[in-house]
Structure 1
Amino acid sequence: MRKVMAICIASGILLSPGAARADADLFRKSNCMACHAVDQKRFGPSLKDVAAKYSGDSSAVDKLAKKIQVGGAGVWGQVPMPPQPQISDADAKMLAEYILSIK
């Protein structure tokens, strides 16, 4: 019985939304908020719009992670997205996964 309880507790910890909060914290700590908001357009599209656009795209995490680091232009209009080379590969991927998780 103790083993079952320990597994349930461990599973609850692993499945808790803590990782999503960590990604949201990373989003807030990065330069992303200067141009993006979760549910409204600023200089760039809302994160909800980005998530909707790339939904179902199996290569979206890699595409967005690269775009975070090297920047981009033309996908969402005339305003270019400046590169963020200070963001590590791992953090760029975590940010991309966070963005794609937003509904």
Structure 2
Amino acid sequence: MDDEAMIDLAWDSGCMNCHDVDRSLRGPAWLDVAERYRDDDEAFERLVETVREGGSGNWGDERMTPNRRVPMEDIRTLVGWLLELESEQEE
């Protein structure tokens, strides 16, 4: 997946208001999410659900707001992309 296109989709979807690829904002950095869930075969569906419906408790006290206005296809695309992210140190 093209990183630039995924970042554009994330901006258009409102994700970048709370997240960044490599640093924590209101929500966790996506590299941290990828690191935590990389070897979890069930993480993809759980994360898609969390993005869609919102959630809390996995990364501190901050609540993730639901993103129901974002098309499910876009959520699935973004979650799939972020789970494959690797920091330059890991490569």
Q: Flag whether TM exceeds 0.5 (same fold).
A: yes
Q: How far has the Cα of 1:31 moved from its partner? A: 1.1
Of 63, 68, 80, which residue of structure 1 is paired with 2:51? 68
Identify which of 51, 61, 66 aligns with 2:34: 51
Unpaired runs of at least 5, structure 2: 87-91
CA contact 1:24–1:98 (8 Å) conserved in 2: no
Alpha-carbon separation, structure 1, partners of 2:17 and 2:80: 19
Q: Whose Rg is larger?
A: 1
TM-score normalised by the chain length of structure 2: 0.86
3-state DSSP class of the match of 1:25? helix
Query: Equivalent residue for 1:88?
Result: 71
- Give the RMSD, CA atoms, in angstroms: 1.3
Between the two proteins, the alignment pairs up a number of residues equal to: 86
Q: How far is 1:46 from its partner?
A: 0.2
TM-score (norm 1): 0.77
Identity %: 34
- 1:78 correspondence with 2:61: yes
Structure 1: which 4+ aligned runs deviate by more than 6 Å?
A: none
> Residue 23 of structure 1 aligns with which residue?
6
* Structure 1 unaligned blocks of 5 or more: 1-16
